Chain A
Amino acid sequence: MKKIILVTISAFLIMSCGTTTSLYYWGGNKKGTTAYENSAYKNYDKQTPESLCQLICIYEDMVKNPGGTRKMPPPGICAEYGYILLIPETAHIFSEYATSAQKKMLEGTDFTQKGKELLEMEIRLYPESIKFVKPLMEKLCDR
């Protein structure tokens, strides 16, 4: 009987291995969508200072707490986050409109420095991005 139970448990374990697992962490799931997708669409559709602050914090969470099977931020995320931080108005908007909890997440952050580091990180994690990210980095950092 023990053998049967053991085989059955093993079967269930093998079956669960076949289920789809995410390669990356996208800021958590809610009703089949992710925090990143919701926030990115809101910010794209009707950008407000609040939607931008929320998106920044989701990026921060994704970069700081990478998950999924690859344990690194998804392709493009460091580039997007770096790009947003390098926009001159971003630091001002964040200091004016972010909630205290959001401000705490980025306490003491130099937005320009972090923006550059994130673009470099995108190239380091995904070398194929160099063709696209390097010119972007030169353009943004020469402003």
Chain B
Amino acid sequence: MKRILYFITITMVVSACGTSRNAATRASQYAPIYEEKPITLLVMPPINNSANVEAKDLLYTSISRPLIEAGYYVISPMLSMDILKAESAYDSEIFFDQNLEPFNRYFGADAVVFSVIDSWTKKGFGIETKIRYVIKSAYTNEIMFDRSCDLYLDLSINSGSGGILGAVVDLAASAITTAATDHIVAARKANYFILSDMPRGKYSPEYMQDQDVKAMQKEMSAVVK
């Protein structure tokens, strides 16, 4: 009995703290980040190819936090936006394939964060988004991070009450939730989901210690609650 308990305990510890050793590690997927070690990131306004006109602002105001929590210095989008607008640089499409060195000169950015919203729609009792995130070096223009994700934010409610009446109650509650839930939540979840794969930055205790962590696939789909 004692042996079994010890075995279970050790297994729990190993599974909780161990990092996956896989060919697709952060080191192999995001090598330029580990080489250049960017500190300061500039977030460009999202490129919105979706029919939802608000999606651009929703995403723009919520991209910085997951990057900051990953250990980077992110130039405040609120402040950079005014400058970008004044310099007629608010349309990211123009800069995606251009020389990004001016962003280093004016903002001190080491890398520039682009995002492309391809889809942002309500579907069933949730919100469906398709977003691509690309981070490029402000020194070499090289792509350092490129991930896209079909993310479905499931807003349905399951009260746990059984029977037909329970199902009707759940259906009604889900409809109310979907109508009332702000799309901000979807933007935040999408940002957090994808950007959680970023190698950790200078201010993270995991800085330059996460090379062996398993990386996400380049294109993926997920459902989040």
CA distance A31 to B180 in the complex (A): 13
Could you tell me if A79 and B65 are in contact, using CB atoms closer than 8 angstroms? no
| Chain A residues bordering chain B, tally (CB within 8 A) | 39
Complex Cα spacing A76 to B108, Å: 14
* Residue in A8, A24, A41 whose Cβ sees the most chain B Cβ within 10 Å: A41
A128 touches B68 (CB 8 A): no
Does B208 touch A at the CB level, under 8 Å?
no
Residues of A within 8 A of B64 (CB): 76
Is A15 close to B, CB under 8 A?
A: yes
Query: Given contacts A23-B68, A131-B108, A136-B79, are A44 and B61 in contact (CB under 8 A)?
Result: yes
* Known interface pairs A31-B185, A70-B203, A131-B108; A15-B73 also in contact (CB < 8 Å): no
Residues of B within 8 A of A (CB): 2, 5-6, 9-10, 12-13, 16-17, 39-40, 57-58, 61-62, 64-65, 68-69, 71-76, 78-80, 106-108, 184-185, 188-189, 203-205
A contacts with B: majority SS: helix
Q: Is A32 located at the chain interface by the 8 A CB criterion? A: yes
Count of chain A to chain B residue pairs whose CB atoms are closer than 8 Å in the complex: 100
A121 at interface, CB cutoff 8 A: no
A26, B65: Cβ atoms closer than 8 Å: yes
Contact partners of A40 in chain B: CB under 8 A = 61, 78
Main SS of the interface on chain B?
A: helix
11 extra A-B contacts, CB within 8 A, seeds A32-B188, A80-B79, A128-B108:
A11-B12, A15-B16, A37-B188, A41-B61, A44-B57, A44-B78, A69-B205, A70-B203, A75-B74, A128-B73, A132-B108
